[in-house]
Amino acid sequence: NGDNGYDISKLRAATGNVTLDEAFGNTASCRSEITFIDGEEGILRYRGYPIEQLAEQCSFVEVMWLVIYGELPTKEQVEKFEDELVHNMFLDERMRDLFRCFPRQSHPMPVLSAGICALSTFNRNHVGLGAEDVEIATRKLLAQVPTLAAYAYKNSKGQPFLYPKYDLSYVENFIRLAFGTPAEGYQFDESITQGLNALLVLHADHEQNCSTSTVRMVGSSQANLYVSVASGVNALSGPLHGGANQSVLEMLAAIRDQGIDPKDYLEQVKAKKAGIKLMGFGHRVYKNFDPRAAIIKKYADEILSKSPNGDKELLSIAKRLEEIALEDEYFVSRKLYPNVDFYSGLIYEAMGFPVEMFTVLFAVGRLPGWIAQWREHNADPKARISRPRQIYVGHDKRDVVPMDQR
Ligand code: ACO
């Protein structure tokens, strides 16, 4: 008998022979050629190329091409591709009305997701699963998601929208659309553009994480690429996934503002009483270190030392938390190490990006991965609809009691 007194053999007979793997800790849901992770060794590769080399040597646009089409582009290919994307960053003017519907100060993530769904309606003649429609949707999303993301933020601040500029790169356009003003444009700083480029590369794909599995799952019903990607944005928004980069900064600021000793904060985490976690720590797959965090940490020191915006006190709290945690039995025995989000928020802040944009920056970075994974599923002639099973543990059969007797 099960915990609730029901006859397990009866339940098994009804369910069939299924495996219970809560939260898919041990279940591979697909075969994929896109991203390789070795969680024990801290290895991450896109299409075979180590993340360290890609972050150092390649632009985000090159990596988008690599992740989606499988090979690094030639100079000519990448120039043509970037030019095409930049020329397609303009949104249909009617999309402006959509933004006005949302209350001021709305978080940009749900607004971005709604905007991506709306894109499918403006491209309704090209939402099929055939190669041509998929290619059109791919290019539209890559070109216009950064614009939507920037406008979602502008709208939350009540600031006017800017138009993309053909003489700027893809990443520069995104930065200017989000943080520039019509009067002054945006004063570019090469180290910020390069830093953001590297951060976007680090986020470009990460195999079957929560948001990517969501995109593949929604796509497995043959829902179009736009709405599948919008579902990925929603999945990413939670604090246990992409939303963690915002939560880390809020956690560090709370520790500073309330004058909490980092050691005492970790004691609270370990006591598990208030349900608080050390945000930015732990990972389902990496059990040694997250190679993205190692790269980001190097940038954090460099960018914070130069930037007038960066809060060095928060960086030193983060470093102290990491130092204590890495020597503490609780964290060591559970193999909890800093993940990509532990330092990324600090860098975004140092770059002058507001905290509510952190998860949006993650979404812009992860976009090529979502698209590549959806395309991989869609291109497989044997692909089936995703449909996990369950073990039913509810009531046995019972009869409805008439309303006057309940
Ligand atoms: N702080 C304190 N304890 C933690 C943390 C943490 N950050 N992460 C895990 N633990 C503990 C759990 O309470 C659990 O303890 P127990 O064995 O005593 O019950 C044990 O470590 C195992 O953790 P799980 O929750 O089973 O690990 P899971 O693989 O399910 O979750 C996750 C991974 C969601 C990343 C988790 O570590 C977490 O919540 N971290 C904080 C949020 C975060 O940084 N998310 C970003 C992840 S990276 C990304 O999505 C980009």
Please state the rounded mean pLDDT for residues 91-102.
91
Q: What angle do CA 293, 44, 215 make, to 5 degrees?
A: 95
285 class by beta-carbon count within 10 Å (0-12 exposed, 13-18 middle, 19+ buried): middle
| pLDDT tens digit sequence for 111-128 | 999 999 999 999 999 999
State the pLDDT at residue 33: 98
193 has a pLDDT exceeding 80: yes
105 has a pLDDT exceeding 90: no
Cβ of 290 less than 6 Å from ligand 1: no
State the pLDDT at residue 78: 98
Average confidence score pLDDT of the chain: 93
Cβ of 269 less than 6 Å from ligand 1: yes
State the pLDDT at residue 249: 95
- Give the residue, by CA position, lying nearest to ligand 1 atom 49: 241
- Which is more confidently placed, 305 or 392? 392
353 class by beta-carbon count within 10 Å (0-12 exposed, 13-18 middle, 19+ buried): buried
The amino acid sitting at 186 is Y
Closest ligand 1 atom number to CA of residue 210: 50
338 bridge partner residues: 281
| pLDDT tens digit sequence for 160-179 | 999 999 999 999 999 999 99
- Which is more confidently placed, 264 or 9? 264
Q: How far is the CA of 38 from the centre of ligand 1 (A)?
A: 18
Helix/strand/coil for 43: strand
Please state the rounded mean pLDDT for residues 129-142.
98
pTM for the full predicted model: 0.94
User: What are the structure tokens assigned to 102, written together?
Assistant: 């949302």
The DSSP result for 195-250, as a single string, is: HHHHHHHHHS--SS-HHHHHHHHHHTTT--HHHHHHHHHHHHTSTTTTTHHHHHHH
Classify residue 5 as left (phi > 0), alpha (psi -120 to 50) or beta: left
Distance, in Å, from the CA atom of 384 to the CA atom of 61, rounded to the nearest integer, reads 31
Are residues 248 and 341 in contact, defined by beta-carbon separation less than 8 angstroms?
yes
283 is catalytic: yes
User: What are the structure tokens assigned to 56, written together?
Assistant: 């150092």
Q: Calculate the CA 76 to chain-centre distance.
A: 30
State the pLDDT at residue 342: 92
- Give the residue, by CA position, lying nearest to ligand 1 atom 16: 334
- Give the residue, by CA position, lying nearest to ligand 1 atom 41: 279
- Give the residue, by CA position, lying nearest to ligand 1 atom 11: 334
DSSP assignment letter at 36: E
State the pLDDT at residue 238: 97
Distance, in Å, from the CA atom of 97 to the CA atom of 53, rounded to the nearest integer, reads 43
| pLDDT tens digit sequence for 16-73 | 788 999 999 999 999 999 999 999 999 999 999 999 999 999 999 999 999 999 999 9
404 is catalytic: no
State the pLDDT at residue 400: 98
State the pLDDT at residue 308: 72
Please state the rounded mean pLDDT for residues 338-351.
89
Q: How confident is the model at residue 5 (pLDDT cuts 50, 70, 90)?
A: low
Residue whose C-alpha is closest to residue 310's, from 322, 323, 301: 301
Which residue is catalytic, options 107, 203, 206, 283? Answer: 283
Torsion (CA) 78, 80, 83, 84 in degrees, nearest 10: -110
Please state the rounded mean pLDDT for residues 345-372.
93
Cβ of 240 less than 6 Å from ligand 1: yes
Are residues 400 and 174 in contact, defined by beta-carbon separation less than 8 angstroms?
no
